[in-house]
Amino acid sequence: MRRPRTLVLLAALALTGLGSQAAAAPPDTGATKSDNITHLASVPMTGPLTGGVNTDIAFAGKRAYVGNYAGFAIYDIGDPANPQLISQVSCPGSQNDISIYDGLLFLSTDQSRSDSSCQSIPQSPKIKESWEGIKIFDVRDPANPRYVAAVETKCGSHTHTLIPDPAHRSVFIYNSSYFPNAEYPDCQPPNDRIDIVKVPLRELAKAAVVASPVLFPDGGFPGSETGYETSGCHGITAFPARKIAAAACMGDGVLLDISRPAAPRVIDQVQDAANFSFWHGATFNGDGSKVVFMDELGGGGGAECNAEVGPSKGATAVFDITNRKLKFRSYYKIPRHQAAQENCVSHNGSLIPVRGRDIMVQAWYQGGFSVWDFTDSARPHEIGYFDRPPRVPASFGGYWSVYYYNGTIYGTEAVTAFDTFKITDPRTDPAARVVLSELNVQTQPAFRR
Look at residue 13 and tell me if it is in a domain.
no
In this predicted structure, which of 6-10, 176-180, 197-201 has the lowest mean pLDDT?
Answer: 6-10
Please report whether residue 259 resides in a domain: yes
**Residue 1 domain-assigned (yes or no):** no
pLDDT at 448: 77
**Would the pLDDT of 202 be above 70?**
yes
**Is the Cα dihedral 398, 272, 97, 190 positive or negative?**
negative
Cα(423)–Cα(429) distance, integer angstroms: 8
The CATH number that applies at residue 358 is 2.130.10.10
Residue 419 placed within a domain: yes
Q: Is a pLDDT exceeding 90 seen at residue 281?
A: yes
Per-residue CA distances from 280 to 20, 169, 272 (Å): 34, 31, 13
Q: Is residue 323 part of a domain?
A: yes
Supply the pTM of this predicted model: 0.95
Domain assignment of residue 6, yes or no? no
Task: Give residue 25's pLDDT.
Answer: 59
CA 317 – CA 330 distance, rounded (Å): 6
The count of domains in the chain is 1
Q: Which domain, by its residues, includes 89?
A: 32-440
Q: Flag whether 326 is in a domain.
A: yes
Q: In what order do the strands lie in the sheet with 131-138?
A: 95-101, 104-113, 131-138, 146-152
Q: pLDDT tens-digit profile of 393-435?
A: 999 999 999 999 999 999 999 999 999 999 999 999 999 999 9
Three-state DSSP at 387 gives strand
Average pLDDT of the chain, as a whole number? 94
Residue 245 belongs to a domain: yes
